[in-house]
Structure 1
């Protein structure tokens, strides 16, 4: 699907997310975790930890495992690839990844 036809949702400003942290947003009834990695990379995945059902992934630790940029769930410590939503330890617990773009200093997310 072209990014021009996606439904974009404003989440916050770029300045609202400190580097290497995440925030949670409620978009179209869905809990979404939006992460800023370094100064310029942004990612969005579902915020609900599939193993516990708690909306906590935005509070996890951001880092990398090999070539994967990940967030570690604060509950069960599973690692989720921020680009794809894949759970590296248990692929059956993967979450959806969403498209992010920056426009005029605002973080926009389109549910994927």
Structure 2
């Protein structure tokens, strides 16, 4: 049996790199990923693309995390649009979205499938 390395999750960062209730930026396959550590939620780590399609900059990891009608969101620091952390959809502009990545916290690593 041949093991395909693409099937193996990669470690984006360690848990101690995360900031509770805030975001950080990590790089994966040449793209910036915004990671949000929400220790009181389930799951505790969320990942979306860092590129703000409205502000045209990699800034979503610097946004403020909150919720709108029970949806976990991050507000872009540029023009304050909100992006759903589960779907990537922009709340104010439903035709816009950012990529969402499946991540999990295992031991002290944030893992993402390739």
For structure 1, list consecutive stretches of 5 or more residues without a partner in the other structure.
none
Residue in structure 1 matched with residue 49 of structure 2 by the alignment: 46
RMSD across aligned C-alpha pairs, in angstroms?
A: 1.6
Is 2:79 the partner of 1:76?
yes
CA deviations 1:40-67 (Å, max 9, x no partner) are 6110000000012200000000010011
Q: 1:7 to 1:51 in 2, by over 3 A?
A: farther
Residue in structure 2 matched with residue 33 of structure 1 by the alignment: 34
Tell me, yes or no, if the aligned pair for 1:19 and 1:39 is still in contact at 8 Å: no
Residue in structure 1 matched with residue 104 of structure 2 by the alignment: 101
Does the residue aligned with 1:92 lie in a helix, a strand or coil?
A: coil
Is 2:3 the partner of 1:9?
no
Question: What is the rounded CA distance, in whole Å, between the counterparts of 2:8 and 2:17 in structure 1?
Answer: 22
Question: What is the rounded CA distance, in whole Å, between the counterparts of 2:73 and 2:7 in structure 1?
Answer: 25
For structure 2, list consecutive stretches of 5 or more residues without a partner in the other structure.
1-5
Q: 1:91 to 1:16 in 2, by over 3 A?
A: same
Q: Which moved more, 1:8-17 or 1:74-83?
A: 8-17
TM-score normalized by the length of structure 2: 0.86
TM-score normalized by the length of structure 1: 0.87
Q: Bigger radius of gyration, 1 or 2?
A: 2
